[in-house]
């Protein structure tokens, strides 16, 4: 099943399909923002490997053609500002997807990331008919945790040593949202100030566990 990748916008912020010609500006943002993003970059447990941006884009596009992903570029005022990917799309009895993203430092703090996440989530719920969306975030990533807090993603648990990030297996907090929670849409609920308080709160027990070295 081919999943069309739409172009969506709200105010200054938009998401659109990633293209091969995005490789150069993406590389520029990643190189210039190395110190900003390195701590959160996925790595290989087998050691350092080369990274080919064009090959990565082709793989994301192939994933979309197979119906398993939606690869987006985040734009602010028409300028490439970051990337958002919906991955692990499943239909049938599961009907879910997972969201991951990055934003260049110079575009942080203006609401671009939560707007992009809300646009993508609403599309997955309202157009694709998915039932649940998930975002997993490292406990140390305070800026990314603010995104799920703003949008009201609900805390679901701690995944220990879940993804290989910046050279080691890292714990992640898991947040989810299902369609029944946002009948009006994620973006509209956020913009109208109706996001429930404390939905994304992490229990103190999980905070302590995440701060404890893994056995």
Give the pLDDT of residue 120: 98
Establish if 180 belongs to a structural domain: yes
Pairing type for strands 132-137 and 96-103 reads parallel
Domain that holds residue 139: 8-210
Q: CA–CA separation, 208 vs 158, rounded Å? A: 11
Give the pLDDT of residue 32: 83
Q: What is the DSSP string of 6-65?
A: --EEETTEEEEE--GGGHHHHHHHHHHTHHHHGGG-B--TT------HHHHHHHHHHHHH
Give the pLDDT of residue 180: 98
Establish if 3 belongs to a structural domain: no
Establish if 35 belongs to a structural domain: yes
Residues of the chain where predicted confidence (pLDDT) is lower than 50: none
Establish if 155 belongs to a structural domain: yes
pTM for the full predicted model: 0.94
Give the pLDDT of residue 92: 95
Is residue 200 within 8 Å of 154, Cβ to Cβ?
A: yes
Give the pLDDT of residue 10: 98
Give the pLDDT of residue 47: 63
Helices 53-65 and 23-32 sit at what angle, rounded to 10 degrees? 120
Instruction: Look up residue 73 and give its two tokens.
Output: 């570029």
Give the pLDDT of residue 89: 96
Supply the CATH number for residue 34's domain.
3.40.630.30
**Total structural domains within the chain:** 1
Establish if 2 belongs to a structural domain: no
Establish if 215 belongs to a structural domain: no
Establish if 69 belongs to a structural domain: yes
Establish if 177 belongs to a structural domain: yes
Report the Cα–Cα distance between both ends of the chain, in Å, rounded: 42
């Amino acid at each position: 099943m081919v999943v069309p990748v739409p172009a969506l916008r709200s105010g200054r912020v938009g998401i659109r399909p990633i293209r091969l010609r995005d490789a150069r500006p993406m590389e520029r943002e990643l190189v210039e923002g190395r110190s900003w993003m390195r701590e959160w970059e996925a790595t290989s447990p087998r050691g350092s490997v080369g990274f080919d941006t064009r090959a990565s884009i082709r793989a994301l596009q192939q994933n979309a053609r197979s119906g398993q992903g939606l690869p987006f570029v985040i734009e602010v005022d028409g300028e490439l500002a970051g990337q958002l990917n919906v991955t692990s799309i499943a239909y049938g009895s599961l009907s879910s997807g997972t969201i991951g993203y990055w934003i260049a430092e110079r575009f942080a703090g203006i609401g671009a990331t939560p707007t992009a996440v809300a646009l993508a989530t609403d599309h997955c719920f309202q157009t694709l008919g998915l039932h649940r969306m998930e975002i997993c975030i490292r406990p140390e990533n305070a800026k990314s945790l603010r995104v799920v807090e703003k949008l009201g993603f609900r805390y679901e648990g701690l995944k220990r040593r879940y993804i290989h990030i910046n050279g080691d297996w890292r714990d992640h907090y898991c947040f989810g949202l299902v369609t029944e929670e946002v009948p009006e849409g994620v973006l509209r609920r956020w913009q109208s100030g109706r996001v429930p308080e404390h939905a994304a709160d992490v229990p103190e027990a999980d905070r302590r566990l995440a701060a404890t070295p893994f056995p």
